[in-house]
Structure 1
């Protein structure tokens, strides 16, 4: 596994773990014999039972030996041959499991090095009292915890970068602790009203998205850039390529949109009522 140095996080990182295309279910179109749905279901059940009997040590759940969508895809890929599907499925699940374990160990190593468990409200009091970022007390209409960043209160030239990074991670952890049962995603809101060149900080922005990308995958549901002024546009053009796939989660909108589409009248953030 290749090692590289991430300038934004200042820690050695493994290259992002990606599932090989050969085992990414539902991304291929395969020519197969025409079978009725009832026949598909019977074959899926047979494969599932065979995996349970002969490969009980394989994990269950998403991308596991009882994932019926995944089983069906491999059946189609192997032209509905149960033996061939079982053989290929077994190899695929083992590969996915290994990558998952590697990714988890990678994340745990970073958490120890960064000192995530040591981050507290008291230890970050000096930077948090600036009001530049906080977790909103209410969930949005989609039951997502909300992290709000007030860009006009961020001054990278005079504020400690390390403390800013710690605050970012602390707020992510706090937001995750507010997740309702069955929910996984966070909403991020960047309030860009009053934003000026002195507030620009591409390094911290890419640090934040890198943290989500490498250590909190699939936790960031959407990012709102609210009332972005003209001066923010060139900064966004520079930052966008650095945000990887998360750039597609960004939506530019107005404060009015935030209030009407993402919160009820009772749960609107006070900053957007002014």
Structure 2
């Protein structure tokens, strides 16, 4: 009489064993990928120090390993591409004076309430940047000050990133929007800022309660967004309230 197997090939014990093996393999792959990424980060760090010694060091500088890894991921782990993009980003930060931006330095527009970083994260644990389009007046407000406010708020939102979170949510409130608020040039600037200097940091963009007059502007801007267009969602105030926040964390403007 043939001996019986200790358990069926499809028994719970066998399934648990198979899952355990898969878990070990997955863990081993992640460790290998982590080691490989670490090597590339160090390679870029040494390359920047050797080829661009005049670039600033420290946080968001040529030896900031977190920033290097961020750009390395964006460039699909191509060392040359990451170095090229990272070099431009660090130079831009230095020339723009990003580290010197403060609430005081942008107070002329910050006080208008046209844009702000929400106090709470959304339900996905992302920092939230809210833009109130009806308070943006390109004919009356200085473009340079608008750019400063934009970068200051992006930096402020990123400073609220919880561990393990890499992206932010941007909500553009279009209630009350009119053509005097339209600003294609600034939207182009915003797109470039995220693409070149804050890649992979934009998780989703909500256009809330877009009026009919916004449609022509959207048709102009949409081709410029390229891959970012897939991050855009047109929705209602109710959607923002119910799908992105709890009753306790929803921004006051959307309650």
State TM-score, norm by structure 1. Answer: 0.66
1:6-45 paired onto structure 2 within 5 Å? none
What is the alpha-carbon distance in structure 1 between the residues aligned to residue 231 and residue 130 of structure 2? 16
What is the alpha-carbon distance in structure 1 between the residues aligned to residue 120 and residue 192 of structure 2? 26
Residue of structure 2 in register with 1:59 after alignment: 40
What is the alpha-carbon distance in structure 1 between the residues aligned to residue 244 and residue 184 of structure 2? 26
**4+ runs of 1 displaced by more than 3 Å?**
none
Q: Which runs of 5+ in 1 are unaligned?
A: 1-36, 62-92
RMSD: 2.5
What is the alpha-carbon distance in structure 2 between the residues aligned to residue 60 and residue 122 of structure 1? 35
Residue number among 234, 249, 252 corresponding to 1:267 in the alignment: 249
Q: Which runs of 5+ in 2 are unaligned?
A: 1-20, 43-74
Query: Residues 124-157 of structure 1, C-alpha deviation per residue, up to 9 Å, x if partnerless?
Result: 1111001000000000000000000000111100
Residue number among 240, 253, 256 corresponding to 2:222 in the alignment: 240
What is the alpha-carbon distance in structure 1 between the residues aligned to residue 251 and residue 226 of structure 2? 29
Residue of structure 1 in register with 2:187 after alignment: 205
Residue of structure 1 in register with 2:81 after alignment: 99
Q: State the number of aligned residues.
A: 194
What is the alpha-carbon distance in structure 2 between the residues aligned to residue 226 and residue 60 of structure 1? 39
What is the alpha-carbon distance in structure 1 between the residues aligned to residue 253 and residue 139 of structure 2? 25
Residue number among 125, 135, 156 corresponding to 1:143 in the alignment: 125
Check whether the contact 1:210–1:243 (CA below 8 A) recurs between aligned residues: no
Q: CA deviation at 1:115?
A: 1.1
What is the alpha-carbon distance in structure 2 between the residues aligned to residue 58 and residue 160 of structure 1? 45
Q: CA deviation at 1:60?
A: 7.3
What is the alpha-carbon distance in structure 2 between the residues aligned to residue 58 and residue 177 of structure 1? 27
Q: CA deviation at 1:58?
A: 4.1
Higher normalized helix content (fraction of residues): 2
